[in-house]
Amino acid sequence: MPAQRTQFTMPMRILHWLMAAMVLAMLGIGFAMVSSISRYHALMSIHRPLGIAVLLVAGIRLIVRLLSPLPPFPPSVPPRERVVATASEYLMYTLLFAMPLIGWSMLSAARYPVTLFGAFRLPYIMPENPMLYWWLRKSHTVLAYLFFFTFLAHFTAILFHTLVKRDRLLRRMLPWKA
Amino acid sequence: MPIDTKSTIDSGSPPPARRQTLAGLALLGVLVAAVVCTFAYVGGWFTPGKLTPKKFVDVFQAVDGEHAGFRRNHAKGLCVSGHFDSSGNGAAISRAAVFQPGRSEVVGRFSLGGGLPFQADTPTQVRGLGLQLTSTSGQVWRTAMINLPVFPVSTPQAFYERLQAGIPDAKTGKPDPAKMTAFNASHPESVAAVKIIKMNPPSAGFGDSTFHGLNAFVFSDSQGKSTPVRWVLEPVRSASTTALAIASATRPDDPNYLFDALIDAIHTHPLQWHLMLIVGQEGDPTNDASKPWPPSRQRIDAGMLTLDAVQSEDTSPTYQLNFDPLVLPDGIAPSDDPILSARSAVYSNSFTRRSGEHKPPSALTPASVNPK
């Protein structure tokens, strides 16, 4: 019987930490942007291209995830928690695609040019429609909060396993061999 | 009994495993709280006094009331369209496609300042012109200009305070003049700007108004060399435009006399403006739109704006555009003027509010826009 895998594959681990940094930056920039007068434009100029970068990396990550063998849950994770963990993983994958797509769609519906850098811009993916923009813009905020709280639950759960249960669950995702 | 003594000593503190658990939980709590506090901090939750886009739009609504579906400032308006023929002269300082020789499509909106969508036209109310120029390559440039030679304030904070001073008093229904006096006392730069504004009385109508971009921008040429620039639209005054504007000014019974003159003028012949680029020099203030640049600065005639069609807001898709002055093509970038980012943020907030509302018919209906 082959030894069971104890870690996610290296590409999955790299993508996990890369996306963690990108998503936290996007949430922070987004929260700061909507409440800022003086830094609004500077933050917006990062938020737009970084959001499209999240969409690209999410696409790569989904493909890698579907092709990679997964380490099994250790016995310290009870069955009901496994269901919650898997559901939150699916939710986060959904948000990784939904947030940038909604952002791109709402700019399209409002006819704000989707400029990424220099003269390079993306096409509009929605018809011009202010009410559609309004709904997408509100969804963008609601889902940003959902993303933040899902992240917080994920962060709390892994801290609980690492600091309280001390079951080394974190090593499955550590970037180095553990 | 020795065993009992030991248990008595230890009874006050938990066994090692439990202590570890408690320490782990405490650390977990600290880390989670740190993350929540960091995000609350960047979101402005710890700085409730800070100026936000929401507060800015709220103060506009406090001054003129809330008019669902309309812009929170420059609420009364009329949509126009036409084109811009570039002379190619602007390409010397900017690589933007709009300055290459050739034609860009233009849509725009003339407006009166303030948040009242049905106010009667008056000669002294601020006149606005928002434009979107789309070059053949699809590059988009938006600008929102007014007929004042300088902006009455230097910073977003001063703008906010000046608006606050104009909020009507709950008892009298009018702004308290003492508040504006107090604002002026603490903002001499605003007093100086208003003096310059008063030295430039408004023209007869929209068609013969000069429109100023006010804020400085940074132009970049194809080599990456940057130049500070302000721009202004100078009207090509024809006898008939002026005559129509003057004739309409004698119709005091018409609450839309400025807009009606504009409609008549466009139906008679296209209205035209020269787009003049004013080239700044070392030391010219780029971060303060309340201060004029010396009149001796080089002026580049970048081309001719022609507006030859007019539409009511009720039927024109142009009404929905946000004339955000930071929707810029490659080759034009914002300067260090803090008002620019503020305009972008506040326009966006106002745009989001009205896009979710149902707009009643505008003052200038499709029927009033038809040739008479």
- State the smallest CA–CA distance between residue B53 and chain A in angstroms: 6
Q: Which of B355, B333, B359 is nearest to B344 (CA)?
A: B333
Q: How confident is the model at residue B244 (pLDDT cuts 50, 70, 90)?
A: low
Question: Residue B250 has what pLDDT?
Answer: 65
Is-contact B120 B339, C-beta < 8 A? Answer: no
Contact B35 A164 (CB under 8 A): no
Of A27, A41, A155, the CB nearest to B32: A155
Of B32, B345, B356, the CB nearest to A37: B345
Of B21, B24, B322, the CB nearest to A110: B322
Is the predicted pLDDT of residue B11 greater than 80, yes or no? Answer: no
Residue in chain B lying closest to A41 (CA): B341
Distance between CA B298 and CA B280 in Å, rounded?
A: 8
How many of the other CB atoms lie within 10 Å of CB of A11?
A: 15
Contact B345 A40 (CB under 8 A): yes
Residue range B127-170, pLDDT digits in tens: 999 999 999 999 999 999 999 999 999 999 999 999 999 999 98
Distance between CA A91 and CA B40 in Å, rounded?
A: 23
Contact B52 A112 (CB under 8 A): no
Q: How confident is the model at residue B274 (pLDDT cuts 50, 70, 90)?
A: very high
Is-contact A58 A100, C-beta < 8 A? Answer: yes
Q: Which of A114, A112, A34 is nearest to B320 (CA)?
A: A112
**CB under 8 Å to B343, separation ≥6 — which residues?**
B144, B215, B324, B325, B326
A17-34 mean pLDDT: 98
Residue in chain B lying closest to A119 (CA): B330
Question: Residue B176 has what pLDDT?
Answer: 92
Residue range A72-107, pLDDT digits in tens: 999 999 999 999 999 999 999 999 999 999 999 999
**B341 neighbourhood in chain A, CB within 8 Å:** 37-42
Burial status of residue B86 (CB atoms within 10 A of its CB: 0-12, 13-18, 19 or more): buried
- State the smallest CA–CA distance between residue B55 and chain A in angstroms: 9
Distance between CA A125 and CA B318 in Å, rounded?
A: 19
Contact A111 B320 (CB under 8 A): yes
Question: Residue A3 has what pLDDT?
Answer: 67
How high is the ipTM of this complex? 0.93
Contact B322 A112 (CB under 8 A): yes
Q: How confident is the model at residue B83 (pLDDT cuts 50, 70, 90)?
A: very high
Which CATH architecture does the domain made up of B75-156+194-345 adopt?
Beta Barrel (2.40)
**A137 neighbourhood in chain B, CB within 8 Å:** 352, 355
Is-contact B17 B303, C-beta < 8 A? Answer: no
- State the smallest CA–CA distance between residue A59 and chain B in angstroms: 27
Is-contact B56 A37, C-beta < 8 A? Answer: yes
**Per-domain residue ranges of chain B:** 75-156+194-345
Question: Across all residues in chain B, what is the average pLDDT?
Answer: 92
- Pairing, β B211-212 against β B127-134: unpaired
**CB under 8 Å to B329, separation ≥6 — which residues?**
A119, B96, B97, B98, B135, B139, B140, B141
Question: Residue B16 has what pLDDT?
Answer: 76
Is the predicted pLDDT of residue B171 greater than 50, yes or no? Answer: yes
Contact B27 A113 (CB under 8 A): no
Element (DSSP H or E) covering residue B131 = strand B127-134
Q: How confident is the model at residue B241 (pLDDT cuts 50, 70, 90)?
A: low
Of B32, B352, B356, the CB nearest to A152: B32
Question: Residue B134 has what pLDDT?
Answer: 97
Question: Residue B370 has what pLDDT?
Answer: 83
Is-contact B207 B235, C-beta < 8 A? Answer: yes
Q: How confident is the model at residue B322 (pLDDT cuts 50, 70, 90)?
A: very high
Q: Which of A58, A31, A102, A45 is nearest to B43 (CA)?
A: A31
Of A31, A34, A156, the CB nearest to B32: A156
